[in-house]
């Protein structure tokens, strides 16, 4: 059976799920513990996480990682979760404990932000049995020591220069698994995939934007019903 003929089951209550761009299917994917992952939704919104067709979720946020947040997201998700455990402020022993906690709760991988020290990465790697993923913010990021410390996957988030950064690191590390942000539209996603990204992170519309669209639909329905 070809991909064009894959049966889809959907109910009326679930038809408004957040769908990731179809072009992401062109990515090779990364197989982690037997699961192929191409599309990764970038959100900590539990409602969106429960209503998406993405293969996985990357749950990182601009605050100190906390077990309560990690636990809530993993319990709510019905797809694999990559959990943030370290960054510019959170590192050392706390990050190692966060990594252990995230794995014990069911995370398929743990994510460290760009400023995370190599010693912290090594401490996390020593106590977890899931891949350590390091965020890379530009092609000038130094990743050699981080790879040696245990990083298995890099997650490139370099803004408008993401595709260029992907191409740079793909040439330097031909077999390195690369996740990357896809950008604002299908053209930039495809360019990032062609540059060498194996999987794409997709930032969905906010809950407010999604709700606004639904309310507009409701208002139109009411208007049509009252003007027949």
Q: Specify the pLDDT at position 180.
A: 98
C-alpha pair distances (Å), 25 with each of 38, 54, 96, 212, 220 = 7, 11, 34, 28, 34
pLDDT tens, position by position, 30-58 = 999 999 999 999 999 999 999 999 999 99
Mind listing the domains of the chain with CATH numbers?
18-226 (3.20.20.60)
Quick check: 133 and 179 in contact, CB under 8 A? yes
**Nearest Cα residue to 113 out of 64, 176, 161:** 64
Q: What is the pLDDT of residues 59-100, one digit of tens each?
A: 999 899 999 999 999 999 999 999 999 987 788 899 999 999
> Residue for token digits 């906690």?
101
Place of tokens 């991909």: 3
pLDDT in tens, 192-220: 999 999 999 999 987 777 767 767 766 66
Rounded CA separation 59/43 (Å) = 6
> Among 203, 167, 216, which residue's Cα sits nearest to residue 41?
203
Which pairs from 206-210 meet CB under 8 Å and 24+ separation? Answer: 206/45, 207/45, 207/47, 207/48, 210/18, 210/48
Q: Name the DSSP letter for residue 13.
A: G
In this structure, the number of other CB atoms found within 10 A of the CB of residue 168 comes to: 20
Measured distance CA(32)–CA(39) in Å, rounded: 13
Q: How many CA atoms lie within 13 A of 225 on its CB side?
A: 6
Q: Which two tokens stand for residue 6?
A: 């894959």
Tokens 């404990």 — which residue?
A: 97
Question: In terms of pTM, does the model score above 0.75?
Answer: yes
């Amino acid at each position: 059976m070809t991909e064009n003929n894959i049966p889809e089951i959907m109910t009326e209550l679930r038809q408004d799920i957040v769908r990731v761009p179809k072009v992401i299917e062109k990515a090779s994917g990364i197989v982690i513990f037997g699961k192929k992952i191409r599309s990764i939704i970038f959100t900590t919104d539990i409602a969106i996480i429960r209503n998406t067709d993405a293969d996985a979720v990357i749950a990182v946020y601009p605050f100190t990682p906390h077990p309560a947040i990690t636990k809530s997201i993993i319990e709510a998700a019905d797809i694999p979760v990559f959990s943030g455990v370290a960054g510019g402020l959170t590192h050392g022993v706390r990050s190692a404990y966060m990594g252990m906690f995230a794995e014990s709760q069911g995370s398929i991988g743990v994510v460290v932000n760009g400023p995370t020290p190599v010693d912290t990465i090594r401490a996390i790697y020593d106590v977890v049995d899931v891949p350590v993923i390091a965020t890379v913010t530009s092609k000038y990021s130094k990743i050699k020591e981080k790879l040696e410390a245990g990083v298995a996957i890099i997650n490139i988030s370099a803004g408008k220069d993401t595709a260029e950064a992907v191409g740079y690191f793909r040439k330097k590390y031909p077999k390195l698994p690369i996740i990357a942000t896809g950008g604002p539209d299908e053209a930039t996603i495809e360019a990032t995939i062609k540059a060498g990204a194996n999987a794409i992170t997709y930032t969905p519309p906010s809950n407010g934007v999604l709700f606004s669209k639904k309310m507009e639909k409701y208002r139109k329905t009411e208007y049509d019903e009252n003007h027949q």
